[in-house]
Chains A and B, each alone.
Chain A
Amino acid sequence: MANIRQLDKRRKSVKNVRKITRTMELIATARFKKAMDRAAAATDYTKRITSIVQDIAKSGTDVSHPLLTAHDSVDAMDMLVLTGNRGLCGGYNGSVVRAATLRRSEIKKEIEAGQMRVSGKRGVSALRFAGVPIEKTYTEFDDQPSFAAVAKIANELIERYITGKIDRVDVAYTKFLSISKQIVVVDTLLPFASLAPATNSGNLSPEAAKATGIKDDYEFLPSASGILEEVVPASFRARLFKCFLDAAVSEQIARMIAMKSATENAGDIIKALSRTYNRARQSKITQEIMEIIGGVEALG
């Protein structure tokens, strides 16, 4: 009976697939934890930067910087799209690419010039397929993006913005809100809207709140404005790094969920196949018995 053998073969292959997806789920879980720890470790820096900015603001210095001021007219814009290098993570890559192309088609009506920078093999191939010209691609970012590599991109963008080559920078990525919620966003990073969002916390941390209670008269070396000149780019770099970290964490979560449902689905298929297989086997046995009985009767 070819049917029974086929059913058994199929069940075996589905079992193998389930093993693979289960392993991938476990790997994604481990990577997610690592990425999450990294993202948590990175918050210290942004907290300190905020506290410095607050100290400067308290000293009564006028907060102004070339990165904070919007250019008079927006003629050129760079766009950075953060996707994953690998697939099998549900709608993660697709939704980022969709959001990016949507924003691009919106702005292309007004702004012609500017570069498209894409991180992740998946995004690169999807956007190429959609016929979007890509100027720069980055494939070195995996589940643990390094700050040095991100800072390089950030410095390039800062240079292009300050020298007037571009007037705006947008970043399309998946923002991590909580383990159960990640949303695709297209954020305008330059001009830097304000220093507050860079810290990723509208509220002061308890420690910072306490610090504001105590009146510390800070000494600024060389001067408050001199420090500000450095704080703004540093803050921008940290912000862009945060985008990469968020994207990395979200990718692992997406993969984890996708593989979990794939494993569950494989389980369901195995159940259904087993049932059909058992039924077919039973009917074959019954048929054989009938044949034997028929044979015995014919002889008798």
Chain B
Amino acid sequence: MSTDNKVHCIVVTPEKTELDTTCDSMVVPMFDGELGIQFGRAPMVGRLGFGIMRLKSNTGVKEWFVDGGFVQVTREGVYVLTDRLLKPEQIDGKQAEADLDKAMTMVSNSPESAAFKERTLTQARAKVRLAKSTTSS
């Protein structure tokens, strides 16, 4: 981490390193709610949910949509691993609704398939929720 009490934030997707920047503090959407990270946070590995990641710095607050994944807090910095990093306005509400409908009809006749269905449902619901909140605001 940098010396001037800043958080070094790196966002990696399977395609490339999307973001490599420093900020004063950041908020990541965890699986069970939001988590704030400031300089010097204890090392941690966490599962991300679907939602908004906020980076606060002198220039203001920047927002992105994080499509699940993980966050790893190390001495060197905060690594966010996600499948996709989108701007909130890039989310397609109709597509999200269609995904939710599809997930609803999935068959779950074993513990594994039930868990899989549950996860697909959560992902679709989060997107629908987010799409609604961005269109209403």
Seen from chain A, the residues whose Cβ lies within 8 Å of a Cβ on chain B are 38, 41-42, 44-45, 48-49, 51-52, 55-56, 66, 146-148, 151, 158-159, 162-164, 207, 211, 214, 216-222, 226-227, 230-231, 234, 237-238, 241
Residues from chain B with a CB closer than 8 A to the CB of A220 are: 44-46
| CA gap between A214 and B76 in the complex, in Å | 12
State whether A45 and B14 are in contact (beta carbons under 8 Å apart), knowing that A56-B45, A163-B116, A217-B43 are contacts in the complex: yes
Cβ-neighbour of B116 out of A162, A207, A219, A234 (below 8 A): A162
Contact of B83 with A147 in the complex, beta carbons under 8 Å: yes
Residues from chain B with a CB closer than 8 A to the CB of A41 are: 15-17
Scan B74-90; emit 1 where CB is below 8 A from any A CB, else 0: 11100101011000000
Count of chain B residues with a beta carbon within 8 Å of a chain A beta carbon: 32
| CA gap between A42 and B16 in the complex, in Å | 5
Cβ-neighbour of A42 out of B14, B30, B70, B79 (below 8 A): B14
State whether A48 and B44 are in contact (beta carbons under 8 Å apart), knowing that A221-B30, A230-B70 are contacts in the complex: no
Cβ-neighbour of A218 out of B30, B45, B112 (below 8 A): B45
State whether A45 and B31 are in contact (beta carbons under 8 Å apart), knowing that A162-B116, A221-B46, A230-B47 are contacts in the complex: no
| CA gap between A163 and B116 in the complex, in Å | 9
- B93, CB-defined interface residue at 8 Å: no
Cβ-neighbour of B45 out of A163, A214, A221 (below 8 A): A221
Contact of B15 with A42 in the complex, beta carbons under 8 Å: yes
Contact of B45 with A55 in the complex, beta carbons under 8 Å: yes
- B25, CB-defined interface residue at 8 Å: no
State whether A148 and B84 are in contact (beta carbons under 8 Å apart), knowing that A44-B12, A221-B47 are contacts in the complex: yes
| CA gap between A146 and B13 in the complex, in Å | 11
State whether A219 and B17 are in contact (beta carbons under 8 Å apart), knowing that A52-B70, A231-B70 are contacts in the complex: no
- B32, CB-defined interface residue at 8 Å: yes
Residues from chain A with a CB closer than 8 A to the CB of B58 are: none
Nearest 4 CB-CB pairs, A to B?
A221-B46, A41-B16, A219-B44, A216-B43
Residues from chain B with a CB closer than 8 A to the CB of A38 are: 15-16
| CA gap between A51 and B79 in the complex, in Å | 11
Contact of A45 with B44 in the complex, beta carbons under 8 Å: no
| CA gap between A171 and B40 in the complex, in Å | 44
Contact of B47 with A48 in the complex, beta carbons under 8 Å: no
Cβ-neighbour of B70 out of A147, A211, A227, A241 (below 8 A): A227
Cβ-neighbour of B15 out of A147, A214, A227 (below 8 A): A147
